[in-house]
Structure 1
Amino acid sequence: MTDAIKIDVWSDIACPWCYIGKRNLETGLAATADDADAPRVEVTFHSYELSPDTPVDFDGNEVDFLSQHKGMTPEQVKPMLDRVTGVAAEAGLEYRFDLLKHTNTVKAHELLHFAKEQGLQKEMTERLMSAYFTEGRHVGRIDDLVELAADAGLDREAARDALESGRYLEAVRADQAQAQAYGIQGVPFFVIDGKYGVSGAQPAEAFAQIARQVWSERAEASAAS
């Protein structure tokens, strides 16, 4: 049997294009499920912090954040937010920038590594992104993260211990070092089978196409060997 295609995704919980890219990837892969020879795919998420200097409790809204951290004017921010909200809606996501609570995401990334160890990284990633972009939940404080961990099926006290101990910080930093080695300067960034790099929140059709292409290449290589 042909080994599964490995897709490694570098993303940040607080990146609006990352959630869109994640959903488009899922939609694209789902479209290949009925193929006669459907590609088998394993997706792994990796840590990337877009704004590591963001405080856990940022005092302000999305417009304030982008104005302070990106040097944009409020007049520039609104059409940009309207655009990303529209693209998110096309992907089936209802972004609520009016509710969003900016925070530092390093603890959320630590939680994702804990969840990966428990076999629940997919569920935890979805829960964090949904909480942040559509529900206005706080994803930077340990108490809040523990509740979200429980929502995703993780043991509450084990999650708290993982976060309070900081023992997954090294794994977060290793992901970031790998991103630097790959030359990744923005997310989402998708690495397919360690040899193809795809940058940005591509349409679902693009992900379906590349999965079929790589799977076909695998089959041809297998037949030739």
Structure 2
Amino acid sequence: MPGMTDAIKIDVWSDIACPWCYIGKRNLEKGLAEASTDDNAPRVEVTYHSFELSPDTPTDFEGDESAYLAQHKGISADQARQMLERVTGVAAAAGLEYRFDLLKHTNTVKAHELLHFAKEQGRQLDLAERLMSAYFTEGRHLGRDDELVSLATDVGLNAADAREALQSGRFLPAVRTDQAQAEAYGINGVPFFVIDGKYGVSGAQPAEAFTQIVRQVWAEHRESVEA
């Protein structure tokens, strides 16, 4: 349509095993929901990109999440537990009930491959939500093909096609491309939000921060159309 304002593109680098990424996802959604009530509401397209926080993690990690944190960050078990308590409280404020007592730490590359398959099918946002919920609140094992296929079917994806996508490895290059782009941007922690390819927002910002930035960028879009 002539003169139509282009949608704001938000590219999100995240890992389904990152507790701050799920909080950031929820806060982004709340911020966009608030902006959607404006008279001239921003149009937004959100795309998720792969980032592995710990690519050397085995599929079956021996130990709970506090043991992983202590090992990965070189901190004491008490410090790890305190970190988990803090993030559980922040998650609760975002409306998420984290269950670190159930969580099964695992390698996430297969989950990232499945997200690229879901993107091809137009279901990436649905699957991102389903995977994070399964991981942080249900104690599902996201390193196993059977579990991932089951979760894919929950959002309407075909089970046989999802399994083929995982077993063929055909989406692994897309995962690596995302990771290379993150490196090119200088992203070394997630969540990281790139807005219109020019604004970077790091970390699980509060919902109102996302509302503010999309309103600002939407005003810029409108100005460019009217100029």
TM norm. shorter chain > 0.5: yes
| Identical residues among aligned pairs (%) | 75
Query: SS at the partner of 2:91?
Result: helix
After superposition, give the CA deviation of every residue in 1:170-223 in whole Å (9 maximum; x if it has no partner). Answer: 000000000000000100000000000000000000000000000001111221
> What TM-score, normalized by structure 2, do the two folds share?
0.98
State the partner residue of 1:175.
178
State the partner residue of 1:135.
138
Q: How does 1:64-143 map to 2 (within 5 A)?
A: 64-143=67-146
Query: SS at the partner of 2:48?
Result: strand
Cα distance in structure 2, aligned partners of 1:3 and 1:89:
35
Match of 2:58 among 40, 44, 55: 55
Match of 2:32 among 26, 29, 33: 29
Q: CA deviation at 1:54?
A: 0.3
Amino acid in the other structure paired with 2:138: E
> What TM-score, normalized by structure 1, do the two folds share?
0.99
The answer on 1:147 being equivalent to 2:150 is yes
State the partner residue of 1:209.
212
Amino acid in the other structure paired with 1:82: E
Match of 2:188 among 185, 188, 201: 185
Match of 1:14 among 10, 14, 17: 17
Runs of 5+ unmatched residues, structure 2: none
Cα distance in structure 2, aligned partners of 1:64 and 1:196:
36
Cα distance in structure 1, aligned partners of 2:86 and 2:106:
22
Cα distance in structure 2, aligned partners of 1:182 and 1:63:
31
Cα distance in structure 2, aligned partners of 1:78 and 1:69:
13
The runs of 4+ residues in structure 1 deviating greater than 4 Å are none
State the partner residue of 1:220.
223
Cα distance in structure 1, aligned partners of 2:63 and 2:155:
28
Query: How many residue pairs align between the two structures?
Result: 224
Q: CA deviation at 1:72?
A: 1.1
State the partner residue of 1:38.
41
Runs of 5+ unmatched residues, structure 1: none
Cα distance in structure 1, aligned partners of 2:83 and 2:66:
10
Cα distance in structure 1, aligned partners of 2:222 and 2:165:
41
Cα distance in structure 2, aligned partners of 1:67 and 1:113:
31
Q: CA deviation at 1:152?
A: 1.4
Query: SS at the partner of 1:198?
Result: strand
